[in-house]
Amino acid sequence: MTANSAAVAPADVPVAAKLEALLTLQHLDSQLDEIRRVRGDLPEEVRDLEDEIAGYEVRVKKFDEDIQGLNDFIKSRKQASKDAESLIKKYDEQQQNVRNNREFEAIAKEIELQRLEIQIADKKIKEAQYQIDVKNAEISGTKSKLDERRKDLDNKKGELDTIVAENEEEERGLMAQRDEATKPVEDRLLTAYTRIRGNVRNGLAVVLVRRDACGGCFNTVPPQRQADIISHKKIIVCEHCGRILADVEARTA
């Protein structure tokens, strides 16, 4: 590749060309801002609904896991109760063959302990079943909210998709033009442009001087400053708002 055919590096592009590119970039970004403004808060609302739905789904899953654990606990308590009943039956048989009162009382005490074990198991089962009922009610309420939010999300997504589809082709075209507009501008200047856009309410980072005033904050720009801007020898920013002053708009008669 010859030197003549090589692409010009952004750092070697004249300041006037960079300012022209920045003005074009600002114009394109303003059009993109307007397209996105039509969407309003819909993208954020969709994200919030998706996060809320994910939270409800995690909650339902946690309730299901808790209920499974409680059911396992009930199963173990029922088995303990059955084991206690088997022991009572065994002790009853042993009691028929005791040789003295001491053996009889010892077995009677074991039978009493197993009956107490059954009572405790029954109490624990009832408590666990109550917790299951409470959690099932919470699941029902949560699933009801989940269904409502899913319907809301479907509506919001449908609304957003419609708006996006209406402007999709235009937005794609503007983005392609934007990519071209950034080529003559070095990264450092693009970073500054992006930072300024993020710091100002209307998104205007590059403006013209109109009627001796900054086109962004409307503060007066001195004549000598305007002469420097017109010369296009360096990047000049407004001393009041920090916006890039690309040019001075010619006065009409």
Local structure of residue 237 (DSSP, 8 states): B
> What band does 2 get if pLDDT is binned at 50, 70 and 90?
very low
Residue 246: predicted pLDDT: 95
Degrees (nearest 5) of the Cα angle 150, 34, 190?
Answer: 110
Once rounded to an integer, what is the mean pLDDT over residues 231-240? 94
- Is the pLDDT score of 7 beyond 90? no
Radius of gyration of the CA atoms of the chain, in A? 39
Residue 11: predicted pLDDT: 65
Instruction: Mark residue 203 as left, alpha or beta (left: phi above 0; alpha: psi -120 to 50; beta: remaining).
Output: left
Write out pLDDT tens, residues 157-212: 999 999 888 888 999 999 999 999 999 999 999 999 999 999 998 999 999 999 99
Write out pLDDT tens, residues 18-43: 999 999 999 999 999 998 888 888 99
> What band does 48 get if pLDDT is binned at 50, 70 and 90?
very high
Closest CA to 12 of 179, 182, 186: 186
